[in-house]
Every structure is written in C-alpha cells, then in structure tokens.
Structure 1
C-alpha cells in the first residue's frame, strides 16, 4: 500500500479529492438547506450540452461546459424568482434541455468522441498540478466568502422571507452561491464524473 504513495498521480488524486471534499461539503450543505439537491443533477446534465457543443465546434469542451453550467444555474435562479416557477420544476427543465442539446451535438459531431466517458464516469487519476491549483484557488475563494458572509448565507438558506424582511441582499447571495455551485460542478465533473458528483453534493 505504501508503494502507491510513491507515484505522483496517486498523490495528486488524494490531494485533489481532499480539496474537492471541502468545497463539496460547503456547497452541498447550502443546496440541501435550500432544498435544491436536484440542482446538482440538473447542472451536471446541463453541462453535457456544453460538452456536446464544444466537441461539435472543436472548442475546449470544459470551457463550453462551464458556460452552460453558469447559464443553467442562473437560469434556474431567474425562473424560480422572477418567473414564479418552482425551483424543482426549473431544474427539471434545465436538466432535459442540457441532455437533449448534448445528445444532439454529440450525434452531429463527425467521428468518435473519445473523452465523453471520462466526463460521465470521471477519472480521478488524471488530476494534474494545474487542476490542483484550480481546486485550491476555488476552495479558498469559497471559504473566504463563507467566512465573510456566513450569517447572511445561513439566513438566506433557511428563511428567505425573513432575510428579505430584515434587508439582507438575498438576490446577490443566492446568485453568488448559484455560480459557485456551477463552478464547483465544472471543476470536478471530469474527475469524479456526473454520477459520483451528484452524490457528493447531495
């Protein structure tokens, strides 16, 4: 067993999982409290649309997936707040659209899409030094945001009406946390996959 720790890729995998678990714990606590557990599945499957579009256009699929993730998470927030649509219904819409768009563009992409399975099931052994820096930077920003606005985040998560009455910026906090959730999903989707990511955030 000790021989495994001599390999760099195994060390990176352990460090990456430790950092991801910290970020997932903070994000997961928030979305569970908001009763938005299904948003992890909705945004991850919406990312599939970005992956398909990226492969079809020949762009970096991670970047297009990030755009889809942020847009879909903000779309859920917008529909639930301004469109008077229940959050679970908005998530279901985003979920279906993302999967449909992804399947469409993967089908239209000529040839075989070689890395698609890695996004579906992940491969934690592919974590690189750049990935570790990205995880660490995101987790540091997330932890700083929680440290500065912890009481406001808790108030918005548990009782939005009370937070609105006492004058808290519920729109800003909800938007920032929604974007943070999307970024967390994008950073981890290729490493742990869509299936495991949903359970980590739930």
Structure 2
C-alpha cells in the first residue's frame, strides 16, 4: 500500500482499471466475430505509424492511431470491395505496417529510446493525459454498446442474417473496427505491441469457457481482466520484473485452470 503514495503508481492502477474494461468489451466482440487476426494485423500496422512519427518528429502515438484507423478501415474496404477473405487483407496490412515501421525507424537519426516502451510496454509511464484519453474512449465505447447492443450482437454472431433483417451492418462493422483500432493504440502503452493480443483476447477466452451469452461473457471478462491486471501489477512490483509479462502469464495460467476445471466438471458423474 505504500506505493499508492506515488502518483505514477496510482496512474498505473487507474489506467489498468479503465483499459481492462475497454479491452474486455472489445475482446468479446472480436472473439464472437472471429476476427482475432485483425487485432494482430492492426497491432503490427501501428508499428508503421510509430516509425513515421519518430521520423517526422511528431507524436508517435498520434501517428500510430492514424495508421491503426486507416489500416482497420482498409481491411474492411478491401474485404468488401474485392470480395476476398479478411485474413488475406490483414496479411497485406500486417506486412506493410511492419515494413514501414522498420524503414522509418532505420531512417530516424540517432537512437529511439522510447521504442522499447511501445514494443514491450511500461505501464508505470502512464500520465494524467493518458488517463483522460483512456477514460474518454471507454465512455464512448460504453455509450456505443448501450445504444446499439442488440445490433452489435446480431452483427457479431451472423452479419449476413443481420443484413437481410435490415440492420445497419456496414455502419456497425466500420464503427466497431475503428473502436478496435483506437483500443489497440491506447493499450499499447499498457502492455506493448508484443503482448497486446493476449490482453484483449485471453480474458474473453476464459469467460467463454463457462458461458455462451454475449453479455455474460463480457462482464466476466471485465472482472477477469481487472483481477489479473491488478494481480500482475502487484506481483511485478514485488519481484521487480516487467508488469506486462506477469499480466499475460497470469491470464494464461487462469485460462488453463478454467479449461482443466471445465474438463473435470464434464467428467464428474451425475448423482
């Protein structure tokens, strides 16, 4: 508890609480729609924005956001315009983002000291401005879910049926894709590019082990994400290791525990 007297540690705790809610909500949509690969594609496309930001001397986070939104919209447009699978379009965006990132980082004069923070994450560097950005985004996300909950669920489970039913499938798909991209950019500061995918998906996979309802999975994923993230921060502080790695290790451990518990419960004889 002594660490709470430090502003940077309080910011880390608040940041974890806020982004855990957003990541669990986005992750539930991603898992339900079976578009986990787009998360990895956008995550690696962000690297191109980071490199361009360093090269031009402007905010790397802003340029990463531009690349993330552009790449996510590009995937939706390519998939619908040329009628190809989303994973094929994602492969193109993924490769382009990484290649541009490597090129711009190489062309940037001098050493790029903050690059490791974006690659591997450093939650203790979260500032007040980051917290306001996290909070504003989460409010927008929760509001959007509240207004279009039924439509989002219908589009996530069966977009073809939703389109035949007259629902605004294209609007929901584009809006959710942009929200996914923004969540990825904000979460980069939490766990870094390398571990972001686990933060967004693993809590949902744990919740999905015991539930099949969209809202139940989302609420359970929020709780799991908060508990594992706070636990990871506490353990990392005590043993002095990177927080992002401990968070993901805890979440993966919880996933295996959930799977084993599920298997045991299914094999238990009925009395």
TM-score by length of 1: 0.97
Specify the alignment match of 2:188 in structure 1. Answer: 189
Q: Secondary structure at the match of 1:130?
A: helix
State the shift of 1:93 in Å: 1.1
User: Contact between 1:146 and 1:153, CA under 8 Å: does it hold in 2?
Assistant: yes
Specify the alignment match of 2:14 in structure 1. Answer: 15
Q: Which has the higher contact order (CA 8 A, sep 6+)?
A: 1
Pairwise CA RMSD:
0.9
Matched, 1:180 2:179: yes
Mapped to 1, the partners of 2:168 and 2:88 lie a distance apart of 24
User: Contact between 2:73 and 2:174, CA under 8 Å: does it hold in 1?
Assistant: yes
Matches within 5 A, 1:91-102: 91-102=90-101
Q: Which runs of 5+ in 1 are unaligned?
A: none
Specify the alignment match of 1:89 in structure 2. Answer: 88
Mapped to 1, the partners of 2:18 and 2:30 lie a distance apart of 19
User: Contact between 2:49 and 2:60, CA under 8 Å: does it hold in 1?
Assistant: yes
User: Contact between 1:37 and 1:201, CA under 8 Å: does it hold in 2?
Assistant: no
User: Contact between 2:49 and 2:67, CA under 8 Å: does it hold in 1?
Assistant: yes
Q: Secondary structure at the match of 2:151?
A: helix
Matches within 5 A, 1:22-171: 22-171=21-170
Q: Which runs of 5+ in 2 are unaligned?
A: 202-271
User: Contact between 1:25 and 1:201, CA under 8 Å: does it hold in 2?
Assistant: yes
Larger Rg: 2
State the shift of 1:138 in Å: 0.5
Deviations 1:150-191 (A, max 9, x none): 000000000011101110010000000000011111112123
Mapped to 2, the partners of 1:154 and 1:191 lie a distance apart of 28
Mapped to 2, the partners of 1:106 and 1:6 lie a distance apart of 37
Mapped to 2, the partners of 1:113 and 1:129 lie a distance apart of 23
TM-score by length of 2: 0.73
Mapped to 2, the partners of 1:108 and 1:128 lie a distance apart of 29
Mapped to 1, the partners of 2:32 and 2:81 lie a distance apart of 21
Q: Secondary structure at the match of 1:85?
A: coil
Deviates more, 1:6-15 or 1:42-51: 6-15
Deviations 1:70-109 (A, max 9, x none): 0000011111112211111111111111000000111111
Q: Secondary structure at the match of 1:167?
A: coil
Structure 1 residue runs of 4+, over 4 Å off?
A: none
Mapped to 1, the partners of 2:60 and 2:2 lie a distance apart of 35
State how many pairs are aligned: 201
